[in-house]
Structure formats: C-alpha cells, structure tokens
Amino acid sequence: MQIEELYQTIGKLALRSATDLNGRLLVYAEVQTGVIESALFYERGDARVVTFRHCNDELLSALYEIWERWQEVPGNEAWFCLSYLVQGGKFQIDLAYPDQIDPDEGTPERRPRMVRHYFAVVWTYKEAPLRPVTYNGSISPGKYVAEYESPSGTYFWGPPGCFASEAIAVSADDQRAALGKVFENDCGLFVPTNKAEAVKLYGHIGSQIRQRGTGHQASPLTDEAVAGGVQQALNPPVVAAAPVGAVAAGGAMGGAIVGGIIASSQGNLNFFRQQPATEELRKALRAD
C-alpha cells in the first residue's frame, strides 16, 4: 500500500479496537529494523476514561509497513517514533527522529510523556499585571494516588511532572527569553466531598520545578520568567490533612479512576489561583 492508504488503514484499525470511544484516540509506536513497540490509548465512555490497549497484529503490521514505505520516498529519513492522533473525525501525524530521542530514556519513559502531551487538560492564564505574561497551563491525566483525607474529602497526588506551564505571549522584549520554555512540577487534585463544590488544583513547588527537556532544576526563587509565573500563580499553603490509611487509599483511588470518587487536598501544598474548569480537572483523575 501507499503511504496515504496506510495512514487511512491505521486509523480504521485503531478505531475498530477502541470500544466505546468518546473523544481522542492515540496510536503510539517506536520502530527500528525488525522491532516495534506500540500501544493504543483512547478516551472511553461518558467519563472519557483514558484507556490502554495493545495493538493487534493487523495494526502492528500496518505500522511497520508505513515505517518501511516512508524510507522509500527520496529524501525521507527513517523516523523512530510515530504518534497518530484521531480527534473530531480528523487525524494528525507527529514523527520523531533518532537524533531527537534521549538515548538515556526507554519506551517506559517516553510513552507516558506522549500520553500526557495528547490527553492533558489545557487552559490559558495571565500573571504579572504590570508586565503581563500569558501562559498555557496543562494538567496530565493519569493515576492520582490518594494521599491525605479529611472530613471534606481526600487528596490525590498526581503523576510526576503532572503540571506544566509555558509562556506563549509576553509584553516586553526582555521577557522574550521565556517563550518556548516549558516548566513542569508535581501537583495534586482536591475534589470536595460535597459534589457541588469545585475540584481544585494544588502545586508541589520548590525544587520540584524543572524545565522540560533540559533536566534543569529551577529554584523557587528563580528569576526565570516561566518559573516565576508558576510561583505567582500559587497562593500560600493551606492546612494539612491526615494521611490516608492503606485500606482507605486503595478504595478511594479505585473510585477516582473509574470516575466519580470525591477527593480532597493535602495541606502543605500551594493552591493554584489560575484554575481550569472543575469538569476538566475531574477528567484528569479518570485513567486506567
């Protein structure tokens, strides 16, 4: 088959495997000569749970064939990673080449990052009113582990680097160095026991803030504009809650993942003033 036909075939095979699809679908593959690692992720059901599936033999064959056919086109180099996203009836292809891959990382590190990238909750906010900077904030979906509980609910600790902030617009030339930098830090979600109340995002700031792609650890007092924007968006700490017991943690975590457990927030965190919509934060909690 030709490359365009293979694109269509990959999409059809992936959609056939995505039972109860309700939203985005991602096929992720890493290919080398004679070797392929691949997986399928998609939003499932009314809760839009991010669900994992192994690629079947037909899909594996199509992915390997498109890797081979791609190299037959004059001027094309062999790619290493393919991300095939289906959303709103359209597909998007992103390729990464061997020189773009960190040799110290493996598939277990790269694949979760791709899932976070394509399924993250994203919103826009501004900081520094005198010299405003506009940021895109994003929260990764994943398994948020129950850590603390109180009468008002239970706090869920997110996967590593689950909050990211990127400067997308600045108001002065001396701020332009911030553009294109993405800072990540750990975070958690608080979903009140009262279902009428909003889920809340909390940041684990300090030495955990890091610049994506550099391994750079940013100080909480850094003067770098992006990290500074994260700091400005965080309020003083709230009161700590008690740690969750083993039985309570397991039950609460399972409920959150299947869609609907009410959770709360740990106290020695910082409340993020620039909150996305509560229904979007609930989506982040729901993952297999």
User: Would you state the pLDDT for residue 33?
Assistant: 95
Say if residue 200 is exposed, middle or buried (CB neighbours under 10 Å; 0-12, 13-18, 19+): buried
The answer to whether residues 246 and 154 touch, using CB atoms and an 8 Å cutoff, is no
Nearest C-alpha neighbor of 175 from the set 120, 232, 97, 228: 228
Strand partners of residue 288: none
Quote the CA–CA distance of 77 and 84 in Å, as a whole number: 18
Residue 222 has a pLDDT of 37
- What is the C-alpha radius of gyration for the chain, rounded to an integer number of angstroms? 21
* Phi, psi of 263, rounded to the nearest 5 degrees: -125, 165
Beta strands in 212-256 (DSSP E): 216-217, 234-237, 242-243
CB 266 within 8 A of CB 241: yes
Nearest 5°: phi and psi at 172?
A: -145, 150
Phi, psi of 232 (to 5 degrees): -65, -30
Residue 105 tokens read as 């990382």
The domains found in the chain, sorted by start residue, are 3-118 (3.30.500.20), 120-285 (no CATH)
pLDDT for res 10: 96
DSSP string, 29-52: EEEETTEEEEEEEEEETTTTEEEE
State the CB neighbour count (10 A cutoff) for residue 97: 11
pTM, two decimal places: 0.57
Residue 78 dihedral angles phi and psi, to the nearest 5°: -70, 125
Predicted confidence at residue 63, as pLDDT, reads 97
pLDDT at position 184, please?
80
Residues linked to residue 188 through DSSP beta bridges, in sequence order:
157, 202
| Digitized pLDDT (tens) for each residue of the chain, 288 residues in all | 789 999 999 999 999 999 999 989 999 999 999 999 999 999 888 767 788 899 999 999 999 999 999 999 999 999 999 999 999 889 999 999 999 988 888 888 888 778 877 887 778 887 766 778 888 888 877 777 887 777 777 778 887 778 888 888 888 888 888 787 777 878 888 878 888 888 888 877 554 556 665 554 544 333 344 444 544 555 444 434 444 443 233 333 223 322 222 233 333 456 777 777 777 777 676 544
DSSP strand E in the chain: where?
21-32, 35-44, 49-53, 81-87, 90-96, 121-127, 133-139, 145-150, 153-157, 163-169, 182-192, 200-204, 210-211, 216-217, 234-237, 242-243, 270-272
Q: Would you say how long the chain is, in residues?
A: 288
The two tokens of residue 175 are 């701020």
CB 146 within 8 A of CB 263: yes
> Given the structure tokens 């900077």, which residue do they identify?
133
Q: What is the pLDDT of residue 263?
A: 32
